[in-house]
Amino acid sequence: MGERAGLFDPIEIGGVRLRNRTLLPSMTTRLADDAGYVTDATLAYYRARAEGGVGLVTVEMASPEIAGKHRFRELGIYDDMFLPGLRRLVETVHEAGARASIQLGHGGSRARSAVSGTTPVAPSAVPTPVFEVESEIAVPEAMSPARIRETVDAYVAAAARAQRAGFDMVELHGAHGYLISQFLSPLENTRTDCYGGSLENRARFGLEILRRIKSEVPGLPVIFRIGVEDFFPGGLTADEGIQVGRWSERDGADAVSVTAGHYRSLPAAERMIPPMAYPAATFVEYAARMKRLVDVPVIGVGRLGDPDLAARAVADGKLDVVALGRPLIADPHWVVKAQAGAPVRRCLACNHCITNMRSGAQLSCVVNPATGRENVYAGTSAPQSRRIVVLGAGPAGLSYASLVAAGNDVTVIDKADRAGGAFRLTGLAPRFNDVAAAEPTFEAYIGELERACRLGGVRFRYGSEATGDDLRGADLVAVATGADYRFGLGAVVPRLLRTRAARSGAAARLFASARVRDSLYYRLRTGRGAALARRLPLEPGTEVLVLGDAARAGKAREAITSAFDAALAPRTHPAPTP
Ligand SMILES: Cc1cc2nc3c(=O)[nH]c(=O)nc-3n(C[C@H](O)[C@H](O)[C@H](O)COP(=O)(O)O)c2cc1C
Ligand code: SF4
């Protein structure tokens, strides 16, 4: 574990000590209620991450004024009425040993009036494509100097409110095309006054907010989150973004958080939240560049979910604190596990979480059905002292085995010669969900899940079907054998994938269609578990569970959810939060 050690050394931000160099970055969950109040689900979600060992929990983006509210069920901080809930949230995070921050972020032109109830405001009246449940082109109102002052005041008031709620620090959202970032990008800021034109002028709005908070809310550390590069013509360039980060240190930022990307990024907005085909540690060199130029701690983000990679980034001096966004959605216990050298449940970088959330749903995850439903599984536990045979080492079988490993005698049998099932093939498909598929992400997920099972004492047998002897004496057989293709496609589709033929020519064009993908992955497949279960040579009294055989056979998220539900017997009514 020595080589990972630096990641778990404490660090201070603005005099506040974090127990290690990991943080949960701001990620919208939609777990607040319709009015923006903290709910039991909000508390349970953040408690799980704090209990998982992270040093700093950044609570999701909350707008300092209602005009900046950009999502339904967005957490509120623009009024004192939110204070009681925010206080409970801070207490919950503190009780679990983490520090608490909250991101102050204003949607600007990306705050639909359907959400905020008012006309969006922005540096300039530049029509802006917005997607929040529905798509629209919003035309914001250009902010007058007086309106700018009003918004800056609102930021200061929100920061003071955060301090009253007990937050250890706040973060200013200066990235991704929200208000501060809109001021920074020449395409979205065409002003001719002191807030537009030169970089110094475009940076004025964000830095003014920072300076005012530092002088008017004493004792509250501020992290400045800067999207250093926008990736579109007329967007902020990397040299400019780095310069703004340096100015933020000059103007009092206690740490600089380095990210990149914007809703207008080319080839796509996904660059903000890089999916699986992007290189791991996507933005680390931006952080390294910033680190050479500033003395305050630098926070890096973007596909740092491999614990060795995260630790190396710290050890190599590329950044001081590792932000783990999707990795902590996929496994809230990433930090304690990585510290112990244990495998973590690896995020696929499939971006279901963000795509689904932007479409209106609460935060959820393909590989971790407990995300956003922490209370549903609260206090539940797996059966004990049973002899369990799991048939199938795909994502559902492995998830189930990993969850029941402790306290049971578990064997996984798969007729293939290794774990992963059809899920490995998914890495060879052109797309998974709405992102380009990449094999290593599936390999890492399956590999680490199998390793977790083995460490938990699970035995594996590959290369042959289960026999009566294998099942003799079993208390429970969990059938997780995945799905078969109908109409003889079982021979065709895997060959298309294995030969990479699906990634070129007409086949690639076909796979580009979500409808075709849906048919090929799910609609043309049928669960095979129930039929197999009927044929198994079982002794009387052996319980049988069929996992992942639901209507949408072959769909990883549903299959993994069925494994969690079978292992942990979720509550029909979520547990109340104490
Ligand atoms: C569901 C979701 C919601 C997000 N919401 C925010 C947000 O409100 N503010 C923000 O600055 N970044 C947001 N992000 C971006 C993350 O903070 C992070 O920069 C990004 O996910 C890349 O890091 P990762 O590879 O560790 O996930 C969001 C990401 C996800 C997946
Ligand atoms: S939904 Fe996909 S990208 Fe999001 S956290 Fe889960 S595995 Fe990672």
Q: How confident is the model over 123-152, as pLDDT tens digits? A: 999 999 999 999 999 999 999 999 999 999
Q: For ligand 2, atom 5, name the residue with the nearest CA.
A: 326
For residues 501-515, give the mean pLDDT. Answer: 74
CB 365 less than 6 A from any atom of ligand 2:
yes
Angle between helices 145-165 and 199-216 (to 10 degrees): 40
Active site residue 178: yes
CA of 353 to the centre of ligand 1 (A): 10
| Ligand 1 atom showing the smallest separation from residue 353 Cα | 1
Q: Which two tokens stand for residue 443?
A: 């390999």
CA of 394 to the centre of ligand 2 (A): 17
Question: Ligand 1, from 58, 132, 273: best to mutate by most atoms within 8 Å of Cβ?
Answer: 273
Rounded Cα–Cα distance for residues 49 and 99 (Å) = 11
CB 259 less than 6 A from any atom of ligand 1:
yes
- Report pLDDT for 49: 98
CB 352 less than 6 A from any atom of ligand 2:
yes
CB 554 less than 6 A from any atom of ligand 1:
no
Point out the least confidently predicted range of 59-63, 426-430, 529-533, 551-555.
551-555
Alpha helices in 263-394 (DSSP H): 284-293, 307-315, 326-330, 334-339, 352-358, 374-377
For residues 15-33, give the mean pLDDT. Answer: 98
Ligand number, closest to the Cα atom of 344: 2
Under 8 Å between Cβ of 447 and 398: no
Ligand number, closest to the Cα atom of 325: 1
Q: For ligand 2, atom 2, name the residue with the nearest CA.
A: 350
Give residue-wise pLDDT tens across range 467-478: 999 999 999 999
CB 248 less than 6 A from any atom of ligand 1:
no
Under 8 Å between Cβ of 207 and 248: yes
For residues 162-191, give the mean pLDDT. Answer: 98
Rounded Cα–Cα distance for residues 62 and 140 (Å) = 20
CB 427 less than 6 A from any atom of ligand 1:
no
Q: Indicate whether 443 pLDDT > 90.
A: yes
Domains of the chain in sequence order: 11-341 (3.20.20.70), 376-568 (3.40.50.720)
CB 273 less than 6 A from any atom of ligand 2:
no
- Report pLDDT for 554: 60
Residue 499, number of CB atoms within 10 A of its CB: 11
Q: Indicate whether 573 pLDDT > 70.
A: no
Position 560, amino acid: I
CB 27 less than 6 A from any atom of ligand 1:
yes
Q: Indicate whether 578 pLDDT > 70.
A: no
Question: Ligand 2, from 27, 273, 304, 326: best to mutate by most atoms within 8 Å of Cβ?
Answer: 326
Considering Cα of 212, then 214, then 219, then 223, what sign does the dihedral take?
positive
Q: Which two tokens stand for residue 364?
A: 């959820």
| Ligand 1 atom showing the smallest separation from residue 329 Cα | 31
Rounded Cα–Cα distance for residues 459 and 455 (Å) = 10
Q: In terms of C-beta density within 10 A (0-12 exposed, 13-18 middle, 19 or more buried), how is residue 250 classed?
A: exposed
- Report pLDDT for 434: 84
CA of 366 to the centre of ligand 2 (A): 6
Ligand number, closest to the Cα atom of 172: 1
Q: For ligand 2, atom 8, name the residue with the nearest CA.
A: 347
For residues 78-92, give the mean pLDDT. Answer: 98
Q: Indicate whether 407 pLDDT > 70.
A: yes
Rounded Cα–Cα distance for residues 231 and 275 (Å) = 16
Catalytic one among 46, 155, 178, 445?
178
CA of 372 to the centre of ligand 1 (A): 15
Position 27, amino acid: M
- Report pLDDT for 507: 74
Point out the least confidently predicted range of 114-128, 142-156, 418-432, 509-523.
509-523
Under 8 Å between Cβ of 76 and 37: yes
CB 347 less than 6 A from any atom of ligand 2:
yes
For residues 325-348, give the mean pLDDT. Answer: 98
CB 351 less than 6 A from any atom of ligand 2:
yes
Point out the least confidently predicted range of 3-12, 41-50, 259-268.
3-12
- Report pLDDT for 553: 56
- Report pLDDT for 159: 98
- Report pLDDT for 45: 98
Considering Cα of 229, then 252, then 285, then 2, what sign does the dihedral take?
negative
CB 349 less than 6 A from any atom of ligand 2:
yes
CB 367 less than 6 A from any atom of ligand 2:
yes
Q: For ligand 2, atom 6, name the residue with the nearest CA.
A: 365
- Report pLDDT for 552: 57
CA of 498 to the centre of ligand 1 (A): 33
Tell me the sheet residues that pair with 130.
Answer: 136
- Quick one: DSSP state of residue 376? H
- The gap from C-alpha 216 to its chain's centroid, in whole angstroms, comes to 33
Region of 105 on the Ramachandran plot (φ > 0 left; ψ -120 to 50 alpha; else beta): beta
CA of 349 to the centre of ligand 2 (A): 5
pTM above 0.85, yes or no: yes
Region of 9 on the Ramachandran plot (φ > 0 left; ψ -120 to 50 alpha; else beta): beta
Point out the least confidently predicted range of 67-71, 444-448, 474-478, 569-573.
569-573
Three-state secondary-structure class, residue 251:
coil
Ligand number, closest to the Cα atom of 28: 1
| Ligand 2 atom showing the smallest separation from residue 346 Cα | 7
Tell me the sheet residues that pair with 404.
Answer: none
Q: Indicate whether 9 pLDDT > 90.
A: yes
Question: Ligand 2, from 344, 353, 373: best to mutate by most atoms within 8 Å of Cβ?
Answer: 353
Give residue-wise pLDDT tens across range 186-212: 999 999 999 999 999 999 999 999 999
Q: What is the DSSP string of 511-572?
A: HTSHHHHHIIIIITEEE-HHHHHHHS-PPTT-EEEE-S-STTTT-HHHHHHHHHHHHH---S
**Nearest Cα residue to 395 out of 360, 362, 358, 432:** 432
CB 235 less than 6 A from any atom of ligand 1:
no
